[in-house]
Amino acid sequence: MTGRQKKQIINAIQIVLILIAISIMLIPIIWIFLAAFKNHVDVYQLKLLFTPTLENFGVVFDAPYYLGAKLLNSSIVALVTVVIAIPIATMAAYSFSRFRLTGETAMLVMILATQFVPAVVIILPFFVMFRDIGLLDTRVGLILVNLAIVMPFAIWMIKGFIDGIPLDTEEAAMVDGSSRIQVILNIVLPMAAPGLLTAGIFCFIIAWNEFLFALILTNKDAVTLPIGLALFKGEEGDLWNLLSAAGIIIMLPMFVLALIIRRYFVQGMTMGAVR
Amino acid sequence: MRDNTLKYLLVLPAVLVVFATAIWPLVESLRLSFTVGRLNKPNFPQGYLGFENYTWAFWEEPAFWNSVWVTGIYTVLTVALTTLLALGLAMLLAPGGRLRSGVQTLLILPFAMSPALIGVSFRFMFNPEFGLFDAFFGAVFPPLADISWLAHPQLAFAVCVMADVWGWIPFLTLVLIGGLASVPPETIEAAQVDGASGWRVFRDVTLPQLAPVLAVVIILKSIFSLKTFDQIFMLTNGGPGTATQTLSHYIYFNGMKYGQIGYSASVAWLMVIPMIFLTYAYAKFVFRKAS
């Protein structure tokens, strides 16, 4: 066998392995997509050919499930979390990126470390406090605790983007008599805008998918989509066609957002430990 | 305003938020861990116990040790399997080209899925009557055909591990592809010219240069594995019995179902301790990169 043939065979084997791997990765997702369009009889069979129906999407928004209310809660909670987190994180990120602060490393380590605190540890005191001040089962309460998981990511991610903006334009503007605030507003923010949008989308996905906080803090009014999944456990077991329809409503927007920012996903998740 | 004042004003809100949403609950959890802390009784947290919650967990609660054991095995298995499989997939995908880049893009999808939904989807896939993976395993290993996976302790645990590995492979693969891209191709070519076999090149040239990225990946994955809750809750809810009850689930159950906030806070703090070491190791990598 010539070297060339050997190379071709190796490449063919690799392609087969890649196709197997990606099939395994996609099958559970495809299966949910199919089940969402099956009626409740077809879903209990392993068949690929069926008459698609949109009925499930109507049912989940109707009584008694009212998924629309959960969709609204999820959207408001995730959006407000991001709207609060990004400006605060941007201010801090700029300062960490451009100045030397006393205790800077300590602050950065602390922010990094909070990301790794188990959510169960954070939520116990919040549950007790919210019970006392009446914030249980409110969107406000959920937004407050979501800030805990979103802020460290946002600060580190935006710091990474601002680190990448050259100093020259800022310095030139300062020489021309602009104040620091003007420089931030007129020069840094426009240049960092794509980065801020990326960080915002990233945090939105995290807040949207958040589960444990919502499970513990909400039970009726402020229930979010991931918790809403538990609704579809009927007397006779899981209602898979409805679960799947709800699953699509949860994951489809995140797929779109994730594809938009896919180049920054790795950097965001590792807080710049890997670029 | 002088920069010297401004720079502290700029970080102040962020530091306050982090204090209020992370540092305060950590400290408050520690305080609660020394109290009786029964939610369903008046005058919460009903007085101090010293270390009694901790000694209770250690000496009187087999369920605590069970969850430590489950979490430990779970972490070791998921970290090892995810890292190995992701490394393999990264090696396959790293060369680039249309097919491989397309697959890399598709890998984002499972990664953007909510872990709770991953739990649901795996419960679906392993349903004894119409689960696709259940049918597949039944066809390949006939002895497994009539078994209800999620009702069997070890198999339910295996499904939890599979769901976790499935959910994390994309992220680790993408990180490792990035790592492989930063290995200088000259070093690999030089080894190939010297006549080294593919395996030798991988072991002696690629792997050592990939080590820092692998270390970051393993630390990060260990942290997330130790914390696992969402999928477990949706997939098995800790069952059957307590066969898949991780520490996070055990804490949730004691705190929220039985209202024993004091006790669950003490277990939660026991869980913080390994996190401190992992975070320390992680921070070292982050700051080495930054400087």
Q: Would you give per-residue pLDDT tens digits along chain B (291 residues)?
A: 688 889 999 999 999 999 998 899 999 999 999 998 888 877 778 888 888 889 888 888 899 999 999 999 999 999 999 999 999 999 999 888 888 888 988 988 888 888 999 999 999 888 887 788 888 888 888 877 778 888 999 999 999 999 999 999 998 999 899 888 888 888 888 888 888 788 888 888 889 989 888 998 999 899 999 999 999 999 999 889 899 999 999 999 999 889 899 999 999 999 998 898 998 888 888 777 655
Q: Which two tokens stand for residue B166?
A: 């499935």
Q: Which two three-digit tokens encode residue A185?
A: 């507003």
Please report whether residue A190 resides in a domain: yes
Q: Which domain holds residue A47?
A: 3-54
- Residue B55 lies inside a defined structural domain of this protein: no
B45 lies in some domain: no
Same-domain check for residues A23 and A120: no
Closest Cα of chain B to A222: distance in Å?
Answer: 18
Tell me, what's the pLDDT at B128?
82
* Closest residue on chain A to B176 (Cα): A274
Residues 134-163 of A with CB under 8 A from B: 144-145, 147-148, 151-152, 155
Q: What does the pLDDT read at residue B202?
A: 86
Q: Judge if A174 and A210 occupy the same domain.
A: yes
Q: Is residue A25 part of a domain?
A: yes
Q: What is the pLDDT of residue A271?
A: 64
Q: What is the CATH number for B116?
A: 1.10.3720.10
- Nearest CA-CA partner of A92 in B19, B245, B110: B19
Q: What string of DSSP letters covers B127-167?
A: -TTT-HHHHHHHHHSGGGTT--GGGSHHHHHHHHHHHHHHH
- Residue A179's pLDDT is 87
Exposure pattern of A145-175 as b/e (b: 16+ CB <10 Å)? bbbbbbbbbbbbbbbbbbeebeeeebeebbe
Q: Tell which A residues from 55 to 84 touch B, by Cβ distance under 8 Å.
A: none
Whether the pLDDT of residue A238 is over 90: the answer is: no
* A47 and A95 both lie in a single domain: no
- Asked whether residue A275 is assigned to any structural domain, the reply reads no
Question: Is position B252 within any domain?
Answer: yes
A161 in the same domain as A45: no
Most B CBs within 10 Å, among A39, A117, A135, A145, to test the B interface: A117
A159 and A170 both lie in a single domain: yes
A84 and A147 Cβ atoms separated by less than 8 Å: yes
Question: Residues 103..132 of B with a Cβ closer than 8 Å to A: which?
Answer: 103, 105-118, 120-125, 127, 129-130, 132
Q: Does A5 touch chain B (CB under 8 A)?
A: no
Domain count, chain A: 2
Residue that finishes a domain, picked among A54, A72, A88: A54
> Nearest C-alpha of chain A: how many angstroms from B187?
20
pLDDT at A234: 65
pLDDT at B156: 94
- A71 lies in the same domain as A17: no
Q: Please indicate, yes or no, whether residues A131 and A233 belong to a single structural domain of this protein.
A: yes
Same domain, A39 and A141: no
- Residue A37 touches chain B, beta carbons under 8 Å: no
Cβ separation of B116 and A116 shorter than 8 Å? no
Q: Are residues A129 and A139 in the same domain?
A: yes
Query: Tokens 């947290």 label which residue?
Result: B45
| CATH code (residue A228) | 1.10.3720.10
Q: In terms of domains, do A137 and A27 share one?
A: no
So what's the pLDDT on residue A76? 97
Over residues A80-104, the pLDDT tens digits come to 999 999 999 999 999 999 999 888 9
d(CA A45, CA B132): 10
A41 and A139, same domain (yes or no): no
The domain in which residue B161 lies consists of 63-290
Q: Is residue B133 part of a domain?
A: yes
The Cα of A21 is separated from the nearest Cα of chain B by a number of Å equal to 8
Q: Which of A54, A71, A94 is the last residue of a domain?
A: A54
Q: Which residue of B has its CA nearest to A217?
A: B256
> A105 and A171: one domain?
yes
Q: What residues of B are in contact with residue A117 (Cβ under 8 Å)? A: 22, 26, 272, 275
Mutate to test the interface with A, among B27, B29, B40 (most CBs of A within 10 A): B29
Task: Give per-residue pLDDT as tens, A146-201.
Answer: 998 899 989 988 998 898 888 888 888 888 888 888 888 888 999 889 889 999 99
Q: Tell me: pLDDT of A265 over 80.
A: no
pLDDT score for A1: 64
State the ipTM, two decimals: 0.90
**Beta carbons within 10 angstroms of residue B108's beta carbon:** 21
Q: Virtual CA dihedral for A201, B26, A132, A69, nearest 10 degrees? A: 20
Residues near A199 by beta carbon (within 8 Å), at least 6 away in sequence: A86, A89, A153, A154, A157, A158, A161, A268
- The domain tally of chain B equals 1
The mean-pLDDT minimum among A22-31, A42-51, B42-51 falls in A42-51
- DSSP state letters, A28-90: HHHHHHHHHTS-TTGGGTT-S-----SHHHHHHHSTTT-HHHHHHHHHHHHHHHHHHHHHHHH
Distance CA A93, CA A109 (A): 14
Identify the pLDDT of residue B173.
93
Strand partners, A233: A238
**Contact by Cβ (8 Å): B164, B82:** yes
Residues of B in contact with A26 (CB under 8 A): 106, 109-110
Cα separation of B16 and A114, whole Å? 13
Q: Does some domain include residue B229?
A: yes
